[in-house]
Amino acid sequence: MQIQSILKMSPGCRLHPTQDVLLIPEGTLRLSGPSREVLMRIDGQRDVNAIVEDLLLQFSDANPDEVRRDVLTLLDRLEQRGVIKA
């Protein structure tokens, strides 16, 4: 996972329309904290950096370095799980 990676959701994976849950084949992943805010921004066009910039507009008090690190950690984990693809 790179800061310039452009991400998309894997087939069969989508956010629940209202609940903090990611629906995946044969399972569900409960989303904690701002994970949903991150996943909502994965559209197959924006790279990780653009997602972080956009998040910082919404969470203006947050430390940009921490947000970048947390987002990369989350996305790495989801990529390993096959839920998103770079």
Sites of contact with another protein (CB under 8 A): 10-14, 16-19, 21, 23, 25-28, 79-82
> Quick one: 23 or 56, whose CB is closer to another protein?
23
Positive or negative torsion for Cα 8, 3, 54, 59: positive
> Quick one: 33 or 82, whose CB is closer to another protein?
82
> Quick one: 12 or 64, whose CB is closer to another protein?
12
SS3 37: helix
- Least Å from the CB of residue 56 to another protein: 28
- Least Å from the CB of residue 12 to another protein: 2
- Say if residues 9 and 75 touch (Cβ distance below 8 Å): no
How far is Cα 45 from Cα 18, in angstroms, rounded to an integer?
23
